[in-house]
A and B are shown apart, each in its own frame.
Chain A
Amino acid sequence: MTATDLGEISATTAAEHGVALLEGTTGPWELVVGLEVHVELQTRTKMWCGCSTSFGGDPNTNVCPVCTGQPGALPVVNEQAVQDATLLGLALNGEIAPVCRFHRKNYFYPDLAKNYQISQYDVPLVHDGWLDVDVPVGDDLVTRRVRIERLHMEEDTGKSLHVGSTGRLHGADRSLIDYNRCGIPLLEIVSRPDIHDPDTAQAYLRELQSIVRATGVSDARMEEGSIRCDANVSVRRPGDPLGTRTEIKNLNSVRSLGRAIAYEAQRQIAVLEDGGTIVMETRHWDEGRGVTETLRVKESVTDYRYFPDPDLVEITSPADKVEAVRARLPELPAASRARLHAAGVATHQASTIIVTGLLPAFDEAVAAGADASAAANWLVGDVAGQLSAEGVDFAGSGLTGTHVAELIALIEDGTLSTNLAKQVLTGMIQSRGAKGPAQIAKEQGLEQVSDEGELRGIVEQVVADNADTVAAIRGGNDKAIGALVGQVMKQTRGKADPRTTNQLLRELIGS
């Protein structure tokens, strides 16, 4: 269900947000976008029963009479899900309804076990929130506010698998249904149509994802479907009423969201400038071809025959209960960003740390004595890079913030060069965090050689072997010293301390 079903929409204008209009051949157009984001909650059990919500089990193993809609089975609200939804609602600056209830949304669909979805209709759990998002504009960041109309609770459906040549329902030999996902608590967060460019849409989704993760109510992984986004897109002439919108589904990444909106805006403008009209329809985003295409045309408004679910009772959220949940609110991304910025972390790095869920590791590293800027550099740079190459995330890597702090300390005290530190990091990742940096460095013989006595002989040999270069340096080509450092590094397999090496070279060359 969309926000627009229940009342008048008040959209903002591009001008209010300082967003440029789109230039068509016949004049300027204003893009208007509203987003519907679904978040699967990470409660231990499902919305209406005690079945596990764990992802990726064998088909139909996490099911019971309740979630498969057996005759006679009844739903009972998962209190944890209500609390999590409330927490997220508060994080999105929303108001919590003191009393709300569940409705049935009736429609026939094979993977909908009861042939109705339990959802919220006239009174959602959360209404009237907002989110401030930082949108990159040139080299700057501009803050734009997107209002959130509602956040309501519902249940997820099962998944159909069509067996046959095409992989789609049409022409399939048979269809199989996995009800494991059936009844997993789902939140729908509906924004107002306050978005006027793809960048803001992307920033909104990213920020929402960060908030969801910060509150811990979901891992918000788009690839696993625990956060999903649909975009309602329309264009209009500045000052005109809202144009007809299309709904774009199958947006599997933040990047897709931006591309799809940009494409759809241009498509709609082209249709309108051609004298055509936009029909209200659901469109599918084809990532490979970079186009949206008709999925189904809404010839008439679907009649879901909403009515209050008589199997469930009202949810009450008295003020004291709401305040108890509010007390559990963690530091939210905006506050984290400000804190990191104040600690000397660059803005883009701060955002990355938060979006990628590295904040706890960062905080731990700093607490273990690491310099904030160095910790940020390592985490966002080599740590994230190597982990991504290995296909693991930080949480699953066995690494800790303390490891990172230790690694930085080994660089600072000269035990490791930056290059060696990268090799040590590789070793740590391979040991899945079982071994700390000092141990890895020692075991693999990666400690830097900074002992003058050990290095002097090698340096003398290099100077003797490279008379031309030495002459060049003495002749004023100071940069050429790098070549000699490189030679020393080569002979020590990278372990020579560059500073000591430099010092010794200069001493011997007398430059």
Chain B
Amino acid sequence: MDVSALEVVEAHLQRILSVDGVDGDGDVWTAVGSDDLDQRDVHAYLHVTATAAREHAADVDRRRAAGEELGPLAGVPLALKDVLTMRGVPTTCGSRMLDGWVPPYDATVTERLRAADVVVLGKTNMDEFAMGSSTENSAYGPTRNPWDLGRVPGGSSGGSAAAVAGLMAPLAIGTDTGGSIRQPAALTGIVGAKPTYGTVSRYGLVAFASSLDQAGPFARTVEDAAQLQALIHGHDPRDATSITDTPADVLGTLRDGIEGLRVGVVTELQGDGYEPGVRRVFEQALERFERLGAKIVEVSLPHAGYGLPAYYLIAPSEASSNLARFDGVRYGLRVDAPTAEEMNAATRAAGFGPEVKRRIMIGTHALSSGYYDAYYLQASKVRTLIAQDFATAFEQADVLVSPTSPTVAFGLGDKTADPLAMYLNDVATVPASLAGIPALSLPAGTAEAPDAPDASLPVGLQIMAPLLRDDLMYRVGWAFERDLGFTPIPAGDTAVEVL
């Protein structure tokens, strides 16, 4: 090998220093607050673990030189979403609420990355507690899209997506609750996958909506994403919802091609609200599938239209309960007050941002007696119907495809005043989340934005596969990516200059 792990890590640290606005002292770099954020900064990272990364890389080099056995991705740098715990490294979840909290333990995902000798560069920015579709809800200021610093990278894993798209890490971990990996992958022109629910342990993933949260990979190619998923998936006895089945071999059949496969186009996930540019790229993708020997079939998910409302009841309901533990008693922020109850209320008032408060209130209402049946229970029923829709659709097609996001990256601040418009961004990703099936987004081309006819912004293609058939999802993605030959490197006047 010509390049040492330390050199690779050093190059990435330099890149972070030059484009991310991270103000580092060479030891542990702390992200700057939103007020100090330079307009040119991507702000993908909240916290860079430079010293630990260098030490880890040097150790990998030493062990490699000594001929010792190394993990499968030894020395490869990675950016970790700040919702996963890493012992001794602050975890904020993009919230003031967790200011100063240093987790005493590693998430299972973190543990597996360490075991594989992946070098963690730092923790990435995110919408507060993973609630949002633009990474504008971070208490530490928004992340910008490397393709156009005036636009959002998507969310909630926007920091991780921007780190990969901005060449500040070749790999990143995000989490996806209703589309929080796939949508930012689409908006930043990279590959992102939500594995089958239950295949990647949630232990150490600070919960937003437990029945939906799933960590997954970001990468610049389908193969890299599959490699990363293979590293982090597998049964974990510390997570009761972890599936005991052996996960699909996502690398073994990657290059098998898609000739004869039936690719299902979901009627309900391509109509109104989808930008013309997005639709055009999607139509071209379908033509490409046909050229590759796949058969295009039209399938229907009749209840998909209820997916968004069901999701926006279930996720906040679970969140209202999951976030109850942030009360100022044990960790993070505490705003002092005379009684425990007042301290608790003052802490939560000061610690949570508006979107989190909105969802806690929605969830609290939806679970309260007298409304439970009308909201939570009804939403759960819709969820079951959607899962059944998918099961039926997968009798007619091997995989399903749709645009990942109805729009290309939108401008910072464009939708922050209108939560419902923001929620609509998840319309195509939420059904797979509710059904627990694996889904992948990969670059399918570029398109203009309605507000910028000359812009060239990434468009993502979503590939959904049956439960536990993550292998099929990657196989179809790989064939598509190879034929497309699209290099997803940000370019253009407003883009960050590449290495």
Contacts and interface: CB of A to CB of B under 8 A. Distances in A.
B119 interface: no
Given A74-B202, A303-B368, A169 B104 contact: no
Contacts of B368: 303, 305
B18 interface: no
B85 A108 contact: no
A77 B84 CA distance: 23
A110 B340 contact: yes
A216 interface: no
A106 B321 contact: yes
Contacts of A76: 237-240
A76 B98 CA distance: 25
A310 B325 CA distance: 16
A11 interface: no
Interface in B309-331: 317-318, 320-321, 324-327, 329-331
Given A115-B325, A115-B327, A311-B241, A74 B203 contact: yes
A74 B369 contact: no
Contacts, number: 103
Contacts of B211: 310
A177 B327 CA distance: 14
Interface residues of B, number: 44
B318 A310 contact: yes
B422 to A, nearest CB: 24
A193 to B, nearest CB: 23
A212 to B, nearest CB: 27
A310 B210 contact: yes
B376 interface: yes
Nearest to A175: B340
A110 B325 contact: no
The size class of the interface chain A forms with chain B is 20 to 34
Given A72-B205, A305-B364, A108 B91 contact: no
A113 B241 CA distance: 21
A310 B209 contact: yes
A73 B204 contact: yes
B416 interface: no
B207 A72 contact: yes
Given A108-B344, A303-B368, A74 B238 contact: yes
Interface core residue of B93, B202, B237, B324 (most chain A CB under 10 Å): B324
Contact of A307 (B326, B331, B367): B367
A74 B105 CA distance: 12
A75 B98 contact: no
A1 interface: no
Nearest to A48: B240
A305 B321 contact: yes
Contacts of A177: 329
B367 A106 contact: yes
Given A70-B105, A115-B325, A313-B240, 10 more contacts: A71-B101, A71-B331, A72-B91, A73-B105, A104-B321, A106-B324, A108-B324, A110-B329, A114-B325, A115-B327
Interface of B: 84-85, 91, 93, 98, 101, 103-105, 107, 202-207, 209-211, 237-241, 317-318, 320-321, 324-327, 329-331, 340-341, 344, 364, 367-369, 372, 376
Interface of A: 65, 68-77, 104, 106, 108, 110, 113-116, 169, 175, 177, 301, 303, 305-307, 310-313
Shortest 6 CB-CB contacts between residues of A and residues of B: A115-B324, A310-B211, A310-B210, A305-B367, A71-B206, A72-B204
24 contacts: A68-B330, A70-B104, A70-B105, A71-B98, A71-B103, A72-B85, A72-B91, A75-B240, A106-B324, A114-B324, A114-B325, A115-B325, A116-B324, A169-B340, A301-B369, A303-B369, A305-B367, A305-B369, A307-B317, A310-B209, A310-B210, A311-B207, A312-B241, A313-B241
